[in-house]
Amino acid sequence: MRETAPHVARLRLGPGDPSDGVKSVRNVKLTVLDGRVLLYLGSMVLPPNPFQPAPGATPPALVGRDAEVIAIEDALDRATRGSQPTPMAFVGLRGLGKTVLLHRIAQDSMRTALHLAVEAEPGVSLVSSFREAMHLLRERDKPLKKRLGDAFDVALRHLPLPSFELPGSMGSVSLQAPESGSKLEDNPLGQALMTFNRAAHEVNKFLVITVDEVQDADVASLRTVVARVNQSAGTKEPILFACAGLPQSRDILRALRTYTTRWDIFDLEFLTRAECVEAIRKPLTAVGITIEDRAVDLLVQESAGYPFFVQKYASAAWNKHRDSTITLRDAEATVPGVRKLLEKTLYGSAFAGLTAREVAVALAVAELGPGAHALGNVAKSLGTTSDALGSIRSNLIKKDVLFVPSSGMLQFRMPLADRYVLEHRDDLETKDVIAFRHGIARPKGGGGITL
């Protein structure tokens, strides 16, 4: 049904009555719809905000990830048929949608699979994370068939128990499962996964293992997991494996290259302009809300292709609108506040703690544009050498401003940090920063300066 609304009468009645994600409209609307006059009296209930600005939250439209979604569907299809799925890895900066893809696997396999969802943590053995995941699964899937319940018990018995901190400074007690040989079959984690996988197939399901934040996984345990997955390939009980992590995860994947060379490894990129437009318009169309072209333009421009920003800005504009259209005024009214909040949380604290020389190097990296840059090019743009920048580079890495995506390269850790730096150049480029850059470019007496 197409809405033709040549005459809309608006009356202001008073404050709306927002409740539990449902928003009321303060206007009374007289609309001509297919020749009929419709009168909306009192509050017109709008659907809840469709945008999802929370970490890992499935976006209302998963745009720009067709290749990844096809790979997921193929893997699930194969696992369902007892054929080996290709393991997958999703690699990218913060907020590009890695966890969302792992959740997609979880959602699409909810009925057909048992899912061990693990999130690696720095300094925590992957074995304890698997143990916790098994406990969670047991709690969630109660009541389990008897056979599966037994398998949980056997699998958990294989895994070392966590350690317990003793009060005061008495140290900790660690309860370990008996150590066995180094063969995969004898390895506690390998055994636990084998037991679990067999049990899953006995109840006509398959096993899905996902490891998020894989850059923080201990390589030894991860090797056991992928070896187990690899071994399942030759059987009728294949395991579907997927992991996700920051660009540094590539180091871990490289360390496991015996297994990972034939994986599907996806580098998640920023969204194109057209994809951002789709990410905003599609969910609105689905719930019958329109958005002015100039409002979309503004939200797309602010988001700059960064999926997390798309959700954040679109969500704020939605919360502001009071009718069946999101207007440019709604977008304009919300953008500055969202931008300020995002800048503070994402970049503010990291940049506030930098010394003048660190800011100078950060500025030089930003001036080279988005993405990764060779340290040599950064040094060249400052009129110095890579060696001379060594300690500043290390500090910026320690302070979580930059990271090394591959040998000899440097990149901002947070997406769009280059835009932040250039937009805040006036605040960041203090006299000391200018003096420092000037000093490098023209060292006194030609003797070079100490950085």
Ligand X SMILES: Nc1ncnc2c1ncn2[C@@H]1O[C@H](COP(=O)(O)OP(=O)(O)OP(=O)(O)O)[C@@H](O)[C@H]1O
Which residues of the chain form contacts with Mg ion (CB under 5 A)?
A: 98-99
Query: In angstroms, what is the minimal distance from the CB of 175 to ligand X?
Result: 32
Cβ 352 vs Cβ 410: under 8 Å: no
Spatial CA neighbour of 116 closest among 104, 128, 106, 101? 106
Q: Among ligand X, Mg ion, none, what binds residue 303 when CB lies within 5 to 8 Å by partner kind?
A: none
**Which residue lies nearer to ligand X by CB, 56 or 348?**
56
**Which residue lies nearer to ligand X by CB, 55 or 336?**
55
Query: In angstroms, what is the minimal distance from the CB of 130 to ligand X?
Result: 20
For 36, the 3-state DSSP assignment is: strand
Q: Among ligand X, Mg ion, none, what binds residue 238 when CB lies within 5 to 8 Å by partner kind?
A: none
Is residue 311 a contact residue for ligand X (CB under 6 A)? yes
**Which residue lies nearer to Mg ion by CB, 193 or 414?**
414
x/- map, 101-140, ligand X, by CB under 6 A: ----------------------------------------
Is residue 59 a contact residue for ligand X (CB under 6 A)? yes
Q: Furthest-apart CA pair in the chain: how many Å?
A: 86
Instruction: Characterise 128 by phi-psi region: left (phi > 0), alpha (psi -120 to 50), beta (else).
Output: alpha
Is residue 96 a contact residue for ligand X (CB under 6 A)? yes
Q: Is 143 exposed, middle or buried (0-12, 13-18, 19+ CB in 10 A)?
A: exposed
Using CA of residue 279, residue 310, residue 48, residue 11, what is the dihedral sign? negative
Residue 389 DSSP symbol: G
Region of 59-67, 184-192, 349-357, 420-428 interacting with ligand X (CB under 6 A): 59-67
Name the closest residue to ligand X (Cβ).
97
Is residue 304 a contact residue for ligand X (CB under 6 A)? no
Cβ 390 vs Cβ 349: under 8 Å: no
Is residue 188 a contact residue for ligand X (CB under 6 A)? no
Q: Tell me the C-alpha distance between 144 and 137, whole Å.
A: 10
Site residues for ligand X, window 262-281 (CB under 6 A)? 279
Q: Tell me the C-alpha distance between 324 and 63, whole Å.
A: 24
Q: Tell me the C-alpha distance between 55 and 57, whole Å.
A: 5
Q: Among ligand X, Mg ion, none, what binds residue 96 when CB lies within 5 to 8 Å by partner kind?
A: ligand X
Unique residue bearing structure tokens 């060594």:
390
Unique residue bearing structure tokens 């932040």:
420
Query: In angstroms, what is the minimal distance from the CB of 45 to ligand X?
Result: 25
Site residues for ligand X, window 321-360 (CB under 6 A)? none
Region of 164-172, 308-316, 331-339, 419-427 interacting with ligand X (CB under 6 A): 308-316
Q: Which residues bind ligand X (CB under 6 A)?
A: 52-57, 59, 62-65, 92, 94-100, 279, 307-308, 310-311
